[in-house]
C-alpha cells in the first residue's frame, strides 16, 4: 500500500509536545515475509504531515541529545520520563528525524499480549517503530521486558530503529536493557507555549506582558505538556472567535475553558429553564460552527422528537434567533455561521446532555437519524452531526445503536445516507475501545450474502480505507468475502482487494494462500478471476526483497501449484486457459524462469492426463515443447528429468 499524506492540522488546533492526536492512513510494508501469524500486531503509521507539524513546534526536553545518541548507535532506545514530560512527542520526533524508507509507525494491539507485540516478524528493513508501554501494568511490563532483547536483535539485523516508552522509574530492568534507557526532563513550559503561539502567527510580541502575567503560572512547575498544548490551542481558538478582542479576554476565555468546562456546561443547562432554549443549546453543541437556519431546523426537529409543546405565540412575539443565540452564549462568526466560543466548550455541553440525561439518549439518536434523513443539511453539517453523535455513543459504550444506524442508512438508501453510514463505521473502527466490535460486525456483514448493495458498498469503503490502515490482513479478508458475493457488474470490492494485496508482497502472498486453500473447497467464480489477477507471471516473477522471484519462495510455490490443480480439476478450460497461455508465453520469453513455470504447471496437472495433454498442445507453438514433453513424461513415470520443485 502506498503511503498517503493526510490534510495537516491548521492553526493552534493540533498536538503539541504530547502523545495524542494522530491520524492514520494506509500502512506501508514493502518487504516480503511469511504470512503474519494470528495475533501479530498491526503497525499504525504516524501521519507524515502531523510529524512535520509537531517538529516545527517541538522544544527538546533535557536529555534528548543523549537519547538521540543511544537510538542512532544501538538502534533501540528505552525512553523514560515523568508523566507529562512529553515522552510520546519526544519519541515521535526522534523517529521522525531518523531517516527511513517509510513513515514511522506505532505498534498497536487489541489485547495486552507482549508476545504478539514483540514478535519481530513484522519489522522491515529500516523501519522506525514506536512502542508505548508507559501505562503498562507490572504483569504486562514483566512480559514485555523479557521479550525486548530478542526484538532488539531483530532491530539490529534489519537496520531498524525502535523507541520503547517504559513505565516511569521502573526498577525491573536487566543490565543489558538498562544500557538503552535514557530519561528526559520536561522542557520549559513557557518556551513551549511561546513557540506554539509564534508558529500560529499569534501576536505574541505585542501582548507579551499581559500573557506573561496571566499565563506564566499555568505553564511552569510540573504542569503536563498536554495541558500546555491544550492552553495553546484554546488561546488560538479564543483569538479566532473574537479577533478584535484583547489578550486579556483571550486568556480569560482560554483559562476558563481549561479548567471549568464541565461546570460551565452544567451551569448553562441549569440557567435555562425553558425546554426550547435547552434544545437550542444542545443542537448548537452538536452542530457548532454551522448556519443559523440549520441550527433552527435541527432544534425544531429535536423538539418534535421529544414531544415538546409547540410555541403558539405569534411569530412576531417570539424571540428572534439572534436573541436566542445570545441567551445560550453562542455567537455569529464572520462567515455567517454560529458557534460557541471554543470547540471544547461545545464538547462539554453535548457531553453534559448525553451523560446526565441518559433517558434521552434514544431520543437523541432518533433525532440524529431524522435530521440526517430529512433536513436540508450541507455535507459539512451532516458530517458534523454524525461525528458528534458517534463521539457520544462511543464514549458511553453504546456500540450497537451506532451499528444499527449504519445498517439502516446504508440499506440501499441514497448516496448521502450510504456516506453517512461510512462515516459512522469509520468512527467506530477508529475508536480504541470499539474497534474490535466494529471490525467483527464488518466481517459478519461481509460474509452475509443477503447484505443490501448499499451496505456492501459501505463495507468495501471502510475495509479499504479504515481497517486497512491498522489491520491490513483483516481488511483483505473482508474485501475477499465482499468480492466473492458481489453481484455481476459490481467490481468495487475486487478492485480494492487487488489494490490492497498487490501493493505489498506479504499481502499478495496472503491472498494467494487464501485462494489456493479455497479454490479446492469452494466454487466461487470470483476466486478464479482473482487468482488470474494475482498469479500473472509478471507479478510472480518480480523480485522479492532478497532479489529472487516471488514465486521461488518454496511455501508459495506449493500453494500456487495447489490453486492450479484445483482450477484444472474443477473449472472449465475457458476459465484457466488465458492464464495458462500467459504462463506458457512467459516461459518462452525468459529462459531463467522457464523451469519454475513449467515444473509448477506440470505438477499441478499431474493427476489429470487430459490436463497434461492440453498443456503439451499449448506448448507446441513454443521452442521448449520437447522440454515440456520430457517433464510430462517424467511426471507420468516414463523418465526422470531434474525438477525445480
Structure confidence by residue, pLDDT tens digits, 537-573: 999 988 876 677 888 876 788 889 999 999 998 888 8
CB 69 within 8 A of CB 89: no
CA distance 513 to 507: 10
CB 168 within 8 A of CB 133: no
Is residue 129 within a helix (H) or strand (E), and if so which, with residue range? Answer: strand 128-132
Q: What pLDDT is stored for residue 210 in this prediction?
A: 66
Q: Which of 320, 268, 278 minimizes the C-alpha distance to 299?
A: 278
DSSP class of residue 6?
A: P
Burial of 606 (0-12, 13-18, 19+ CB in 10 A): middle
**Which residues, 6+ apart, have CB-to-CB distance to 230 below 8 Å?**
258, 344
CB 42 within 8 A of CB 439: no
Q: What pLDDT is stored for residue 111 in this prediction?
A: 43
CB 634 within 8 A of CB 641: yes
Coil, helix or strand for 290?
A: strand
The pTM assigned to this predicted structure is 0.68
Q: What angle do CA 25, 28, 33 make, to 5 degrees?
A: 145
CB 460 within 8 A of CB 475: no
Q: Which of 587, 583, 577, 580 minimizes the C-alpha distance to 624?
A: 587
**Which residues, 6+ apart, have CB-to-CB distance to 312 below 8 Å?**
none
CB 283 within 8 A of CB 316: no
**Which residues, 6+ apart, have CB-to-CB distance to 297 below 8 Å?**
375, 376
Q: Which of 67, 70, 74 minimizes the C-alpha distance to 152?
A: 74
What is the residue whose three cell numbers read 512547575?
221
Is residue 162 within a helix (H) or strand (E), and if so which, with residue range? Answer: strand 161-165
Q: How many CB atoms are closer than 10 A to CB 437?
A: 17
CA distance 583 to 397: 53
CB burial readout 500-537, b (16+ within 10 A) else e: bbbbbbbbbbbbbbbbbebbeeeebebbbebbbbbbbb
**Which residues, 6+ apart, have CB-to-CB distance to 69 below 8 Å?**
none
What is the residue whose three cell numbers read 455561521?
337
Is residue 87 within a helix (H) or strand (E), and if so which, with residue range? Answer: helix 87-96
Which of the residues in the chain have pLDDT under 50? Answer: 1-40, 110-114
**Which residues, 6+ apart, have CB-to-CB distance to 34 below 8 Å?**
121, 509, 555
CB 107 within 8 A of CB 114: no
CA distance 463 to 503: 15
Q: What pLDDT is stored for residue 485 in this prediction?
A: 93
Q: What pLDDT is stored for residue 407 in this prediction?
A: 96
CA distance 470 to 108: 8
Coil, helix or strand for 55?
A: helix
φ/ψ of residue 43, rounded to 5: -110, 115
Q: What pLDDT is stored for residue 278 in this prediction?
A: 95
Instruction: Quote the longest CA-to-CA distance of the chain.
Output: 103
Domains within the chain, CATH numbers bracketed: 43-184 (3.40.50.300), 189-258 (no CATH), 260-506 (no CATH), 518-635 (no CATH)
Cα–chain center distance at 105: 11
3-class secondary structure per residue, 439-481? HHHHHHHHCCCCCCHHHHHHHHHHHHHHHHHHCHHHHHHHHHH
Is residue 67 within a helix (H) or strand (E), and if so which, with residue range? Answer: helix 64-74
Q: What pLDDT is stored for residue 36 in this prediction?
A: 39
CA distance 173 to 152: 14
Q: How far is CA 297 from CA 279, 290, 321, 333, 370, in A?
A: 11, 12, 11, 19, 11
Amino acid at each position: 500500500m502506498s503511503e498517503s499524506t493526510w490534510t495537516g492540522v491548521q492553526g493552534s488546533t493540533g498536538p503539541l509536545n504530547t502523545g495524542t492526536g494522530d491520524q492514520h492512513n494506509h500502512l506501508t510494508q514493502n518487504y516480503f515475509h511469511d504470512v503474519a501469524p494470528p495475533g501479530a500486531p498491526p503497525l499504525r503509521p504516524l501521519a507524515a504531515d502531523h510529524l512535520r507539524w509537531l517538529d516545527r513546534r517541538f522544544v527538546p526536553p533535557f536529555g534528548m541529545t543523549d537519547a538521540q545518541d543511544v537510538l542512532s548507535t544501538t538502534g533501540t532506545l528505552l525512553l523514560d520520563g515523568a508523566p507529562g514530560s512529553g515522552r510520546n512527542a519526544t519519541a515521535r520526533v526522534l523517529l521522525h528525524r531518523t531517516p527511513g524508507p517509510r513513515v514511522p509507525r506505532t505498534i498497536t494491539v487489541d489485547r495486552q499480549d507482549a508476545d504478539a507485540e514483540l514478535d519481530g516478524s513484522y519489522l522491515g528493513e529500516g523501519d522506525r517503530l514506536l512502542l508505548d508501554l508507559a501505562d503498562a501494568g507490572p504483569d504486562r511490563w514483566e512480559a514485555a521486558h523479557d521479550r525486548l532483547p530478542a526484538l532488539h536483535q531483530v532491530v539490529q539485523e534489519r537496520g531498524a530503529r525502535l523507541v520503547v516508552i517504559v513505565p516511569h522509574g521502573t526498577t525491573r530492568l536487566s543490565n543489558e536493557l538498562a544500557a538503552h534507557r535514557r530519561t528526559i526532563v520536561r522542557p520549559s513550559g513557557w518556551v513551549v507555549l511561546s513557540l506554539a503561539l509564534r508558529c500560529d502567527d499569534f501576536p505574541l510580541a505585542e501582548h507579551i506582558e499581559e500573557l506573561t502575567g496571566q499565563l506564566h503560572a499555568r505553564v511552569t512547575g510540573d504542569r503536563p505538556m498536554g495541558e500546555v498544548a491544550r492552553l495553546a490551542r484554546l488561546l488560538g481558538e479564543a483569538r479566532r472567535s473574537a479577533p478584535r478582542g484583547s489578550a486579556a479576554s483571550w486568556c480569560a476565555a482560554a483559562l476558563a475553558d481549561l479548567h471549568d468546562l464541565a461546570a460551565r456546561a452544567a451551569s448553562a443547562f441549569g440557567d435555562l429553564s425553558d425546554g426550547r432554549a435547552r434544545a437550542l443549546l444542545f443542537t448548537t453543541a452538536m452542530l457548532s460552527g454551522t448556519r443559523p437556519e440549520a441550527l433552527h431546523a435541527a432544534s425544531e426537529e429535536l423538539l418534535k422528537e421529544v414531544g415538546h409543546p409547540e410555541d403558539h405565540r405569534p411569530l412576531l412575539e417570539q424571540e428572534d434567533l439572534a436573541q436566542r443565540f445570545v441567551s445560550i452564549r453562542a455567537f455569529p462568526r464572520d462567515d455567517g455561521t454560529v458557534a460557541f466560543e471554543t470547540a471544547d466548550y461545545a464538547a462539554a455541553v453535548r457531553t453534559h446532555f448525553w451523560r446526565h440525561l441518559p433517558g434521552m439518549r434514544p431520543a437523541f439518536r432518533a433525532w440524529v437519524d431524522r435530521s440526517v434523513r430529512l433536513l436540508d443539511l450541507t455535507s459539512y453539517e451532516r458530517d458534523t452531526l454524525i461525528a458528534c453523535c458517534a463521539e457520544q455513543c462511543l464514549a458511553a459504550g453504546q456500540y450497537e445503536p451506532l451499528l444499527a444506524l449504519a445498517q439502516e442508512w446504508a440499506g440501499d438508501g441514497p448516496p448521502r445516507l450510504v456516506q453517512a453510514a461510512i462515516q459512522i463505521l469509520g468512527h467506530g473502527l477508529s475508536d480504541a475501545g470499539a474497534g474490535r466490535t466494529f471490525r467483527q460486525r464488518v466481517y459478519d456483514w461481509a460474509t452475509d450474502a443477503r447484505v443490501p448493495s448499499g451496505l456492501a458498498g459501505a463495507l468495501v469503503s471502510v475495509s479499504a480505507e479504515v481497517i486497512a490502515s491498522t489491520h491490513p490482513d483483516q481488511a483483505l479478508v473482508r474485501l475477499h468475502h465482499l468480492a466473492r458475493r458481489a453481484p455481476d457488474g459490481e467490481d468495487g470490492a475486487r478492485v480494492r482487494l487487488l489494490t490492497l494485496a498487490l501493493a505489498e508482497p506479504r499481502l499478495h502472498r496472503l491472498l494467494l494462500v487464501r485462494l489456493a486453500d479455497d479454490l479446492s473447497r469452494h466454487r466461487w467464480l470470483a476466486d478464479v478471476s482473482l487468482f488470474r489477477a494475482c498469479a500473472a507471471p509478471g507479478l510472480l516473477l518480480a523480485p522479492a526483497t532478497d532479489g529472487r522471484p516471488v514465486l521461488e519462495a518454496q511455501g508459495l510455490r506449493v500453494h500456487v501449484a495447489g490453486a492450479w490443480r484445483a482450477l484444472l480439476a474443477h473449472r472449465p478450460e475457458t476459465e484457466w486457459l488465458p492464464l495458462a497461455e500467459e504462463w506458457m508465453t512467459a516461459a518462452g520469453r525468459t529462459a531463467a524462469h522457464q523451469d519454475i513455470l513449467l515444473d509448477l504447471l506440470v505438477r499441478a496437472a499431474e493427476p489429470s492426463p487430459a490436463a497434461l495433454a492440453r498443456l503439451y498442445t499449448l506448448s507446441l507453438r513454443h521452442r521448449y515443447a520437447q522440454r515440456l514433453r520430457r517433464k510430462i513424461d517424467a511426471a507420468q513415470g516414463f523418465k526422470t528429468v531434474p525438477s525445480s520443485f
